[in-house]
């Protein structure tokens, strides 16, 4: 099995530790992972702003970088959803369809393909889990509170394998954090209010860490936590699943 590691642009630039943890975790689980060096971005920032017609360059680049792998794995539900829903190519349409079918968000890949049932990680802290919307509702990584259906959650399934980790319950388990790509600056007032409310839910329930399968939501909540000088930290789920035993 060959796995291409897709690291979203903002993780590459601002949160390399989330990417390193993803790589190491996959390697620890015996997966042969390569990181194509010419990758940039999935094109979502443009597409969600209404400029999908400007994503041709990103699409072609993505296909060139990743078409050869058996699986493409990424520590971001949102970017994976964008590829799954919107990647297309007039020049190489079959390759585009192939890529869309084999791209996975990390916790999906661990749960559905590797069928991980045991991890060696230990993380002795109280953790609040933010269900990032695109991963949850788009990729259906967790059941959604709007639906009348049996509960499940791929991220929680994995976090429950982490030794000494204590999950905190939230009042609103799957409300959006308000990041929303360019929404966070175009609709600054509502975006910030949504972020403050989401952070407050975690703080009110005693979380020491907020984690998620999407770093963009965490970046948003981190911006709010830091402005308040809060001691609560954000951590990508890969960093917890890969936490060293102490």
Partner 1 sequence: MSTGIKDHAALSDLFNQDEARVDWHDETLWFVRAKRDKAANTLEEWEALRENASQIKDNVLSNLHDYLSEFESNAQKNGVIVHWAADAAEHNQIVHSILKAKEITRMVKSKSMLTEECHLNEYLQQNGIEVIDTDLGERIVQLAGEPPSHIVLPCIHKKKEEIGELFHEHLGTPKGASDPQLLTAAARVHLREKFLTRRAAITGVNFAVAETGEFVVCTNEGNADMGAHLSEVHIACMGIEKIIPKRANLGVFLRLLARSATGQPITTYSSHFRTPRAGQEMHLILVDNGRTQQLGRADFRNSLKCIRCGACMNTCPVYRRSGGHSYHTAIAGPIGAILAPNLDMKQYADLPFASTLCGSCTNVCPVKINIHEQLYKWRQVIVKEGYADPKKAIAMKTMEFTLSNPSVYRTAGKAGRWVMKNAPFLVNNKLNAWYKQRDMPTPPQQSFREWYKKNNNE
| 148 lies in the site for partner 1, by CB under 8 A | yes
Taking the complex as a whole, the smallest distance from the CB of residue 137 to partner 1 amounts, in Å, to 4
Taking the least distance from each CB to partner 1, the nearer of 98 and 195 is 195
3-class secondary structure for the chain? CEEEECCCHHHHHHCHHHHHHHHHHHHHCCCEEECCCCCCCCCHHHHCCCCHHHCHHHHHHHHHHHCCCCEEEECCHHHHHHHHHHCCCCCCHHHHHHHHHHEEEHHHHHHHHCCCCCCCCECCCEEEECCCHHHHHHCCCECCCCCCCCCCEHHHHHHCCCECCEECCCCCCCCCCCCCCCHHHHCHHHHHHHHHHHHHHHHHCCCCEEEECCHHHHHHHHHHHHHCCCCCEEEEHHHHHCCCCC
Q: How far is the CB of 239 from partner 1 (least distance, A)?
A: 13
Provide, rounded to whole angstroms, the least separation between the CB of residue 91 and partner 1.
14
Closer to partner 1 by CB, 86 or 122: give it.
Answer: 86
Q: Contact letters (x/-) for partner 1, 11-50, by CB under 8 A? A: xxxxxxx-xx--x--------xxxx-xxxxx-x-xxxxxx
Q: Whole-number minimum distance, CB 200 to partner 1, in Å? A: 10
The answer to whether 220 contacts partner 1 (rule: CB under 8 A) is yes
For position 119 contacting partner 1 by CB under 8 A, the verdict is no
- φ/ψ of 166, rounded to 5, equals -110, 120
Does position 233 bind partner 1 by CB under 8 A? no
Based on the shown chain and the rule CB under 8 A, indicate whether residue 246 belongs to the binding site for partner 1. Answer: no
Residue pair 54/46 in contact by the 8 Å Cβ criterion? yes
**In the stretch 51-70, what mask flags binding to partner 1 with x, by CB under 8 A?**
xxxxxxxx--x---------
Please answer whether residues 75 and 7 qualify as being in contact, where contact means their C-beta atoms are separated by less than 8 angstroms: yes
Binding part of the chain for partner 1, among 109-117, 146-154, 155-163, 204-212 by CB under 8 A, reads: 146-154
Shortest distance (Å) from residue 30 CB to partner 1: 14
Site size toward partner 1, by CB under 8 A:
77
x/- contact string, 162-201, with partner 1 (CB under 8 A)?
Answer: ----------x-xxx-xxxxxxxxxxxxxxxxxx-x----
């Amino acid at each position: 099995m060959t796995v291409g590691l897709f690291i979203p642009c903002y993780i590459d630039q601002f949160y390399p530790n989330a990417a390193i943890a993803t790589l190491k975790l996959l390697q620890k689980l015996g997966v042969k992972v390569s990181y194509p060096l010419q990758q940039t971005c999935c094109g979502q920032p443009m597409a969600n702003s209404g400029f999908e017609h400007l994503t041709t360059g990103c699409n072609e680049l993505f296909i060139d970088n990743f078409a050869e792998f058996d699986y493409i794995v990424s520590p971001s539900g949102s970017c994976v959803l964008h590829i799954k829903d919107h990647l297309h190519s007039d020049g190489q349409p079959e390759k585009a369809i192939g890529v869309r079918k084999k791209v996975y968000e990390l916790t999906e890949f661990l749960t559905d393909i590797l069928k991980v049932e045991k991890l060696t990680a230990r993380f002795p802290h109280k953790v609040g889990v933010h269900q990032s919307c695109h991963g949850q509702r788009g990729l259906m990584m967790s059941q959604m509170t709007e639906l009348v259906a049996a509960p499940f959650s791929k991220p929680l399934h994995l976090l429950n394998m982490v030794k000494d980790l204590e999950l905190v319950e939230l009042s609103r388990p799957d409300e959006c954090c308000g990041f929303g790509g360019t929404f966070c600056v175009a609709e600054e007032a509502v975006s910030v209010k949504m972020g403050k409310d989401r952070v407050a839910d975690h703080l009110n329930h005693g979380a020491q860490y907020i984690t998620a399968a999407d770093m963009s939501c965490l970046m948003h909540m981190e911006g709010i936590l830091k402005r308040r000088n809060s001691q609560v930290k954000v951590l990508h789920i890969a960093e917890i699943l890969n936490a060293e035993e102490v």
